[in-house]
Amino acid sequence: MKDAGRALLVWLLVALASLTVVGCSSGAHSATSRPGEASQLGAASQPIYLAQLSCLDTESCCILRDPLTAANRCMVSPARITEVLNGVKTVYGTTNARAVTLKDEAQEKEDTRFAEAAEAEGEAAPEPPNCQGQNHHVISRPIAKVLEEHRTLSGLYEPRDERYVAKAKDKESHCGYQKWHRDVDLEVIRWLRARESATQKEFEAFLREIYNRKDMLERFPNGFGPVS
């Protein structure tokens, strides 16, 4: 009887020790590692952002603690390790993509408010009554506001800068703050926001690229330059 009692005690100690090593509860599934799956484990051991995610079950927790040693600690196959880690990558990728989407949506809303404010400003400063051949200022007030806060271009331009003026060919080409004008302003503003280190040469090359487009040349055949 004593021998049987000792054997039972030894068995219990071994069982408890194995649970401690594995680091998972009795609900974890058991599987053995096969040498042929070593390549799968290598693929699963790529760095990922685990701290941002919570474990879904005890086996996952065990694997995520240290994927490189999970086969022995958690008694799982490399295929299972790969499955768990790929699931984490999928969740993280989805979360990251959603964050980018929210940022883009917020930027679009800000751009819309900017455009509405610029349009209101344009209406508050009406063009001459006949709208015939008036000057179009490439550095509009909305663009100038963004330039004021730009890291490399701040201080180089003024609102309605007289060095950058285009002459409209007729009334239809330029009269008030038209939609095409707002669209150009928004395009320039977005370009500036996306290029915080842009040089003056790069910025003005971008402006000339816009005003050399076919639809813009139809409005302003001579491009832009200082007021003559």
Using 50, 70 and 90 to split pLDDT, how confident is the model at 116?
Answer: low
In the prediction, which pLDDT does 21 show? 37
pLDDT band at 50 (very low <50, low <70, confident <90, very high): very low
Per-residue pLDDT tens over the stretch 133-151: 578 999 998 899 999 999 9
Output 150 or 77, whichever has higher pLDDT: 150
75 Ramachandran zone, left/alpha/beta (phi>0; psi -120 to 50):
left
* pLDDT computed for residue 156 by the predictor: 97
Most confident stretch, 3-7, 38-42, 86-90: 86-90
Q: How far is CA 145 from CA 60, 71, 117, 154, in A?
A: 52, 59, 12, 10
Residue with the bigger pLDDT between 164 and 25: it is: 164
pLDDT in the model for residue 151: 95
120 pLDDT tier (thresholds 50, 70, 90): low
- Do 176 and 187 form a contact (C-beta atoms < 8 A)? no
Domain layout of the chain by residue ranges: 2-98, 131-225
